[in-house]
Amino acid sequence: MATNDLEATARELVAPGKGILAADESMPTIEKRFTSIGLESTEEHRRAYRDMLFTTPGLGDHISGVILFDETIRQGTKDGTPFTEVLEKQGIIPGIKVDAGAKDLALFPGEKVTEGLDGLRKRLAEYHELGARFAKWRAVITIDESNGLPTDGCIRANAHAMARYAGLCQEAGLVPIVEPETLMDGSHAIQAHFDATLRTLQATFEELFDHRIALEGTLLKTNMVLSGKEAAEQADDETVADMTLTCLRATVPPAVPGIVFLSGGQGDVEATERLDVMNKRGPHPWALSFSYGRALQAPALKAWAGKEENAEAGQRALALRAKLNGAARDGAYSSDMEAEAA
Protein backbone atom coordinates (compact mmCIF):
# COMPACT_ATOMS: atom_id res chain seq x y z
CA MET A 1 0.00 0.00 0.00
CA ALA A 2 1.28 3.46 -0.82
CA THR A 3 2.35 5.72 2.05
CA ASN A 4 -0.49 8.13 1.32
CA ASP A 5 -3.10 5.38 1.88
CA LEU A 6 -1.48 4.51 5.20
CA GLU A 7 -1.41 8.18 6.11
CA ALA A 8 -5.11 8.58 5.24
CA THR A 9 -6.00 5.66 7.55
CA ALA A 10 -3.76 6.97 10.34
CA ARG A 11 -5.38 10.42 10.10
CA GLU A 12 -8.86 8.91 10.10
CA LEU A 13 -8.02 7.08 13.32
CA VAL A 14 -7.17 10.37 15.04
CA ALA A 15 -9.95 12.46 13.46
CA PRO A 16 -11.37 15.31 15.60
CA GLY A 17 -13.83 14.18 18.26
CA LYS A 18 -12.84 10.53 17.93
CA GLY A 19 -10.44 7.94 19.29
CA ILE A 20 -9.77 4.23 19.46
CA LEU A 21 -11.42 1.54 21.58
CA ALA A 22 -8.87 -1.09 22.63
CA ALA A 23 -10.84 -4.34 22.92
CA ASP A 24 -7.92 -6.67 22.22
CA GLU A 25 -7.55 -8.28 25.64
CA SER A 26 -5.54 -11.49 25.42
CA MET A 27 -6.92 -14.66 27.05
CA PRO A 28 -5.29 -14.09 30.48
CA THR A 29 -6.35 -10.41 30.50
CA ILE A 30 -10.01 -10.98 29.57
CA GLU A 31 -10.13 -13.73 32.17
CA LYS A 32 -8.96 -11.22 34.78
CA ARG A 33 -11.62 -8.68 33.66
CA PHE A 34 -14.39 -11.33 33.74
CA THR A 35 -13.31 -12.55 37.18
CA SER A 36 -14.06 -9.04 38.48
CA ILE A 37 -17.75 -9.58 37.56
CA GLY A 38 -17.79 -13.26 38.54
CA LEU A 39 -18.02 -14.52 34.94
CA GLU A 40 -16.20 -17.49 33.48
CA SER A 41 -14.09 -16.73 30.39
CA THR A 42 -15.66 -19.02 27.79
CA GLU A 43 -15.60 -18.40 24.03
CA GLU A 44 -19.34 -17.60 24.06
CA HIS A 45 -19.03 -15.16 26.99
CA ARG A 46 -16.17 -13.37 25.25
CA ARG A 47 -18.24 -13.21 22.05
CA ALA A 48 -21.33 -11.94 23.89
CA TYR A 49 -19.31 -9.24 25.67
CA ARG A 50 -17.73 -7.94 22.45
CA ASP A 51 -21.15 -8.21 20.73
CA MET A 52 -22.59 -5.90 23.39
CA LEU A 53 -19.70 -3.40 22.95
CA PHE A 54 -19.59 -3.31 19.15
CA THR A 55 -23.34 -3.03 18.56
CA THR A 56 -23.60 0.06 20.77
CA PRO A 57 -25.85 2.54 18.90
CA GLY A 58 -23.88 5.56 17.69
CA LEU A 59 -20.50 4.04 18.64
CA GLY A 60 -19.01 5.41 15.41
CA ASP A 61 -19.78 8.99 16.48
CA HIS A 62 -16.78 8.99 18.83
CA ILE A 63 -14.89 5.79 18.06
CA SER A 64 -12.73 5.78 14.90
CA GLY A 65 -11.23 2.31 15.26
CA VAL A 66 -11.45 -0.81 17.41
CA ILE A 67 -8.48 -3.06 18.20
CA LEU A 68 -9.55 -6.70 18.08
CA PHE A 69 -7.92 -9.89 19.33
CA ASP A 70 -7.22 -12.88 17.05
CA GLU A 71 -10.27 -14.77 18.32
CA THR A 72 -12.53 -11.70 18.07
CA ILE A 73 -11.72 -10.79 14.46
CA ARG A 74 -13.06 -14.25 13.51
CA GLN A 75 -16.27 -13.86 15.56
CA GLY A 76 -19.56 -12.11 14.92
CA THR A 77 -22.89 -11.11 16.41
CA LYS A 78 -25.46 -13.61 17.63
CA ASP A 79 -27.12 -13.61 14.20
CA GLY A 80 -23.79 -14.36 12.53
CA THR A 81 -22.73 -10.95 11.13
CA PRO A 82 -18.92 -10.71 11.36
CA PHE A 83 -17.78 -8.08 13.88
CA THR A 84 -15.63 -6.47 11.18
CA GLU A 85 -18.80 -5.83 9.14
CA VAL A 86 -20.69 -4.47 12.17
CA LEU A 87 -17.86 -2.00 12.81
CA GLU A 88 -17.45 -0.94 9.17
CA LYS A 89 -21.19 -0.19 8.97
CA GLN A 90 -20.68 2.29 11.82
CA GLY A 91 -17.71 3.87 9.98
CA ILE A 92 -15.29 2.26 12.44
CA ILE A 93 -11.96 0.86 11.19
CA PRO A 94 -11.13 -2.66 12.42
CA GLY A 95 -7.64 -3.19 13.83
CA ILE A 96 -5.80 -6.16 15.28
CA LYS A 97 -3.36 -6.89 18.09
CA VAL A 98 -0.55 -8.91 16.52
CA ASP A 99 2.10 -9.32 19.19
CA ALA A 100 2.39 -12.58 21.09
CA GLY A 101 2.83 -10.96 24.48
CA ALA A 102 5.67 -9.72 26.71
CA LYS A 103 8.01 -12.54 27.80
CA ASP A 104 10.94 -12.55 30.25
CA LEU A 105 14.02 -11.08 28.56
CA ALA A 106 16.84 -13.61 29.04
CA LEU A 107 19.67 -12.37 31.30
CA PHE A 108 17.68 -9.22 32.24
CA PRO A 109 15.91 -10.14 35.48
CA GLY A 110 12.63 -8.26 35.95
CA GLU A 111 12.42 -7.08 32.33
CA LYS A 112 10.32 -8.16 29.35
CA VAL A 113 10.63 -8.30 25.60
CA THR A 114 7.61 -8.64 23.33
CA GLU A 115 7.58 -11.65 21.02
CA GLY A 116 5.65 -12.36 17.83
CA LEU A 117 7.87 -11.56 14.82
CA ASP A 118 8.19 -15.15 13.60
CA GLY A 119 5.59 -15.80 10.91
CA LEU A 120 4.23 -12.28 11.25
CA ARG A 121 4.32 -11.50 7.50
CA LYS A 122 1.88 -14.36 6.84
CA ARG A 123 -0.38 -13.47 9.76
CA LEU A 124 -0.59 -9.83 8.65
CA ALA A 125 -1.67 -10.88 5.15
CA GLU A 126 -4.46 -12.95 6.70
CA TYR A 127 -5.59 -10.13 9.00
CA HIS A 128 -5.70 -7.75 6.03
CA GLU A 129 -7.85 -10.29 4.22
CA LEU A 130 -10.15 -10.45 7.27
CA GLY A 131 -10.62 -6.66 7.12
CA ALA A 132 -8.02 -5.19 9.49
CA ARG A 133 -6.51 -1.89 8.36
CA PHE A 134 -4.28 -1.21 11.34
CA ALA A 135 -2.37 -3.24 13.92
CA LYS A 136 -0.99 -2.93 17.43
CA TRP A 137 2.19 -4.22 19.12
CA ARG A 138 2.74 -3.48 22.81
CA ALA A 139 6.14 -3.37 24.49
CA VAL A 140 6.38 -3.22 28.27
CA ILE A 141 9.05 -1.23 30.11
CA THR A 142 9.34 -1.64 33.88
CA ILE A 143 10.71 0.90 36.35
CA ASP A 144 12.62 -0.42 39.36
CA GLU A 145 15.04 2.21 40.52
CA SER A 146 16.77 0.08 43.16
CA ASN A 147 17.71 -2.47 40.47
CA GLY A 148 18.60 0.07 37.76
CA LEU A 149 15.55 -0.68 35.59
CA PRO A 150 14.79 -0.02 32.85
CA THR A 151 18.11 -1.02 31.26
CA ASP A 152 19.26 0.24 27.86
CA GLY A 153 19.42 -3.40 26.75
CA CYS A 154 15.72 -3.94 27.39
CA ILE A 155 14.69 -0.64 25.83
CA ARG A 156 16.75 -1.34 22.69
CA ALA A 157 15.49 -4.93 22.31
CA ASN A 158 11.88 -3.75 22.44
CA ALA A 159 12.46 -0.76 20.16
CA HIS A 160 14.10 -3.03 17.58
CA ALA A 161 11.19 -5.49 17.66
CA MET A 162 8.64 -2.67 17.28
CA ALA A 163 10.51 -1.35 14.22
CA ARG A 164 10.62 -4.82 12.62
CA TYR A 165 6.87 -5.15 13.30
CA ALA A 166 6.13 -1.68 11.89
CA GLY A 167 8.00 -2.47 8.66
CA LEU A 168 6.04 -5.68 8.13
CA CYS A 169 2.77 -3.82 8.77
CA GLN A 170 3.51 -1.11 6.24
CA GLU A 171 4.56 -3.74 3.68
CA ALA A 172 1.18 -5.45 4.24
CA GLY A 173 -0.84 -2.22 3.97
CA LEU A 174 -1.64 -1.92 7.68
CA VAL A 175 -1.00 1.18 9.79
CA PRO A 176 1.25 0.14 12.67
CA ILE A 177 0.36 1.40 16.11
CA VAL A 178 3.67 1.25 17.93
CA GLU A 179 3.00 0.94 21.65
CA PRO A 180 5.84 1.27 24.10
CA GLU A 181 4.21 1.32 27.55
CA THR A 182 6.37 2.43 30.44
CA LEU A 183 4.40 1.05 33.36
CA MET A 184 3.08 3.20 36.19
CA ASP A 185 3.51 0.30 38.66
CA GLY A 186 5.79 1.17 41.59
CA SER A 187 6.34 3.89 44.15
CA HIS A 188 8.71 6.06 42.05
CA ALA A 189 8.27 9.82 41.70
CA ILE A 190 6.94 11.24 38.44
CA GLN A 191 10.48 12.28 37.39
CA ALA A 192 11.49 8.60 37.13
CA HIS A 193 8.53 7.93 34.84
CA PHE A 194 9.50 10.95 32.75
CA ASP A 195 13.11 9.76 32.41
CA ALA A 196 12.18 6.16 31.51
CA THR A 197 9.49 7.27 29.02
CA LEU A 198 11.91 9.75 27.40
CA ARG A 199 14.62 7.08 26.95
CA THR A 200 12.07 4.61 25.59
CA LEU A 201 10.53 6.99 23.05
CA GLN A 202 13.94 8.23 21.90
CA ALA A 203 15.15 4.67 21.24
CA THR A 204 11.84 3.76 19.57
CA PHE A 205 12.03 6.58 17.03
CA GLU A 206 15.74 5.91 16.34
CA GLU A 207 14.86 2.32 15.42
CA LEU A 208 11.80 3.33 13.37
CA PHE A 209 14.00 5.73 11.42
CA ASP A 210 16.73 3.10 10.86
CA HIS A 211 14.09 0.65 9.62
CA ARG A 212 12.78 3.11 6.99
CA ILE A 213 9.33 3.34 8.57
CA ALA A 214 7.05 5.99 7.02
CA LEU A 215 6.21 7.99 10.13
CA GLU A 216 3.32 9.63 8.25
CA GLY A 217 1.62 6.24 8.21
CA THR A 218 2.36 5.31 11.83
CA LEU A 219 0.65 6.08 15.14
CA LEU A 220 2.33 6.14 18.54
CA LYS A 221 0.42 4.67 21.46
CA THR A 222 2.03 5.39 24.78
CA ASN A 223 1.59 6.21 28.45
CA MET A 224 1.04 9.58 30.04
CA VAL A 225 3.88 10.56 32.39
CA LEU A 226 2.54 9.80 35.88
CA SER A 227 3.58 9.32 39.50
CA GLY A 228 4.11 5.66 40.44
CA LYS A 229 0.79 4.06 41.32
CA GLU A 230 1.98 3.39 44.90
CA ALA A 231 3.85 6.72 45.34
CA ALA A 232 2.77 8.67 48.43
CA GLU A 233 2.83 11.94 46.49
CA GLN A 234 0.64 12.01 43.37
CA ALA A 235 1.27 14.68 40.72
CA ASP A 236 -1.78 16.76 39.80
CA ASP A 237 -3.31 16.87 36.31
CA GLU A 238 -1.47 20.08 35.33
CA THR A 239 1.92 18.52 36.20
CA VAL A 240 1.00 15.30 34.38
CA ALA A 241 0.08 17.35 31.30
CA ASP A 242 3.27 19.48 31.51
CA MET A 243 5.63 16.55 31.86
CA THR A 244 3.87 14.37 29.28
CA LEU A 245 3.89 17.16 26.68
CA THR A 246 7.55 18.02 27.39
CA CYS A 247 8.50 14.37 26.97
CA LEU A 248 6.53 13.95 23.73
CA ARG A 249 7.80 17.19 22.18
CA ALA A 250 11.39 16.11 22.80
CA THR A 251 11.01 12.71 21.18
CA VAL A 252 8.10 12.39 18.71
CA PRO A 253 8.69 13.84 15.22
CA PRO A 254 5.89 16.05 13.86
CA ALA A 255 5.56 13.71 10.85
CA VAL A 256 3.67 11.30 13.15
CA PRO A 257 -0.04 12.14 12.60
CA GLY A 258 -1.17 11.23 16.09
CA ILE A 259 -0.36 10.02 19.55
CA VAL A 260 -3.02 7.91 21.27
CA PHE A 261 -2.75 7.33 24.98
CA LEU A 262 -3.35 4.06 26.79
CA SER A 263 -5.12 4.38 30.13
CA GLY A 264 -2.82 1.93 31.91
CA GLY A 265 -4.67 1.68 35.21
CA GLN A 266 -5.79 5.32 35.59
CA GLY A 267 -9.40 5.81 36.63
CA ASP A 268 -11.78 6.36 33.73
CA VAL A 269 -12.60 9.96 34.67
CA GLU A 270 -8.92 10.74 35.39
CA ALA A 271 -7.91 9.49 31.94
CA THR A 272 -10.54 11.77 30.35
CA GLU A 273 -9.57 14.82 32.43
CA ARG A 274 -5.86 14.54 31.69
CA LEU A 275 -6.39 14.11 27.94
CA ASP A 276 -8.58 17.20 28.02
CA VAL A 277 -6.01 19.30 29.92
CA MET A 278 -3.38 18.44 27.31
CA ASN A 279 -5.64 19.27 24.39
CA LYS A 280 -6.69 22.57 25.97
CA ARG A 281 -3.00 23.52 25.70
CA GLY A 282 -2.89 22.83 21.95
CA PRO A 283 -2.41 23.07 19.09
CA HIS A 284 0.31 20.41 19.13
CA PRO A 285 2.42 19.05 16.24
CA TRP A 286 0.39 15.80 16.31
CA ALA A 287 -3.22 14.94 17.19
CA LEU A 288 -3.49 13.85 20.83
CA SER A 289 -6.16 11.22 21.23
CA PHE A 290 -7.02 8.04 23.09
CA SER A 291 -6.81 4.29 22.61
CA TYR A 292 -8.23 3.28 25.95
CA GLY A 293 -9.06 -0.20 27.09
CA ARG A 294 -10.04 -0.08 30.74
CA ALA A 295 -10.93 3.64 30.80
CA LEU A 296 -13.59 3.03 28.11
CA GLN A 297 -14.73 -0.43 29.11
CA ALA A 298 -14.68 -0.58 32.91
CA PRO A 299 -18.11 1.06 33.51
CA ALA A 300 -19.64 -0.92 30.63
CA LEU A 301 -18.30 -4.22 31.94
CA LYS A 302 -19.67 -3.47 35.38
CA ALA A 303 -23.11 -2.44 34.10
CA TRP A 304 -23.35 -5.50 31.81
CA ALA A 305 -22.16 -7.94 34.49
CA GLY A 306 -22.44 -10.85 32.06
CA LYS A 307 -26.24 -10.65 31.74
CA GLU A 308 -28.03 -10.27 28.42
CA GLU A 309 -30.76 -8.15 29.99
CA ASN A 310 -28.10 -5.58 30.98
CA ALA A 311 -26.73 -5.17 27.45
CA GLU A 312 -28.35 -1.76 26.96
CA ALA A 313 -27.04 -0.47 30.27
CA GLY A 314 -23.56 -1.62 29.27
CA GLN A 315 -23.89 0.12 25.91
CA ARG A 316 -25.04 3.37 27.54
CA ALA A 317 -22.00 3.29 29.81
CA LEU A 318 -19.64 2.74 26.86
CA ALA A 319 -21.34 5.41 24.73
CA LEU A 320 -20.94 7.92 27.57
CA ARG A 321 -17.18 7.33 28.03
CA ALA A 322 -16.71 7.42 24.24
CA LYS A 323 -18.53 10.74 24.02
CA LEU A 324 -16.64 12.34 26.91
CA ASN A 325 -13.27 11.15 25.63
CA GLY A 326 -14.24 12.40 22.18
CA ALA A 327 -14.75 15.82 23.79
CA ALA A 328 -11.44 15.57 25.69
CA ARG A 329 -9.67 14.74 22.45
CA ASP A 330 -10.74 18.23 21.29
CA GLY A 331 -10.09 19.95 24.65
CA ALA A 332 -13.86 20.49 24.96
CA TYR A 333 -14.59 18.38 28.05
CA SER A 334 -15.76 19.74 31.38
CA SER A 335 -16.53 17.85 34.57
CA ASP A 336 -20.14 19.15 34.42
CA MET A 337 -20.63 16.78 31.50
CA GLU A 338 -20.20 13.82 33.88
CA ALA A 339 -22.97 15.05 36.16
CA GLU A 340 -25.29 15.99 33.30
CA ALA A 341 -24.94 12.58 31.75
CA ALA A 342 -25.51 10.78 35.04
- Residue 293 has what DSSP assignment? S
Q: What angle do CA 65, 181, 246 make, to 5 degrees?
A: 95
2/210 Cα distance (integer angstroms)? 19
Q: Which is nearer to ligand 13P, 294 or 321 (CB)?
A: 294
Report the candidate in 56, 61, 53 with the shortest Cα–Cα distance to residue 22.
53
- Residue 223 has what DSSP assignment? P
Indicate whether 329 belongs to the interface with ligand 13P (CB under 6 A). Answer: no
Q: Which of 9, 64, 84, 263 binds ligand 13P (CB under 6 A)?
A: 263
Q: Which of 292, 317, 325, 326 binds ligand 13P (CB under 6 A)?
A: 292
Indicate whether 60 belongs to the interface with ligand 13P (CB under 6 A). Answer: no
What are 68's strand-pairing partners? Answer: 96
- SS3 of residue 328 by DSSP: helix
Indicate whether 62 belongs to the interface with ligand 13P (CB under 6 A). Answer: no
Count the neighbouring beta carbons within 10 Å of the beta carbon of residue 314. Answer: 23
Report the candidate in 285, 258, 256, 278 with the shortest Cα–Cα distance to residue 325.
278
Q: Which of 257, 264, 299, 314 binds ligand 13P (CB under 6 A)?
A: 264
Q: Which is nearer to ligand 13P, 131 or 293 (CB)?
A: 293
- Residue 302 has what DSSP assignment? H
Interface characters, 8-47, with ligand 13P (x: CB under 6 A): --------------x-------------------------
CB of 80 to ligand 13P, least distance (A): 27
Contacts to ligand 13P from residues 83-102, by CB under 6 A? none
Sign of CA dihedral 127, 19, 165, 184: negative
Task: State how beta strands 287-292 and 63-68 pair.
Answer: unpaired
Count of positions on this chain that bind ligand 13P (CB under 6 A): 10
Output the DSSP codes for 268-285: HHHHHHHHHHHHHT---S
Q: Which is nearer to ligand 13P, 173 or 293 (CB)?
A: 293
What residue is closest to ligand 13P based on CB? 293
CB of 227 to ligand 13P, least distance (A): 17
Burial of 16 (0-12, 13-18, 19+ CB in 10 A): exposed
CB of 97 to ligand 13P, least distance (A): 8
Residues serving a catalytic function are 179, 221
Indicate whether 220 belongs to the interface with ligand 13P (CB under 6 A). Answer: no
CB of 290 to ligand 13P, least distance (A): 8
Question: Which one-letter amino acid corresponds to residue 113?
Answer: V
CB of 99 to ligand 13P, least distance (A): 9
CB of 127 to ligand 13P, least distance (A): 17
Report the candidate in 181, 179, 98, 162 with the shortest Cα–Cα distance to residue 133.
98
Indicate whether 293 belongs to the interface with ligand 13P (CB under 6 A). Answer: yes
Indicate whether 224 belongs to the interface with ligand 13P (CB under 6 A). Answer: no
Contact residues: ligand 13P, CB under 6 A: 22, 138, 179, 262-264, 292-295
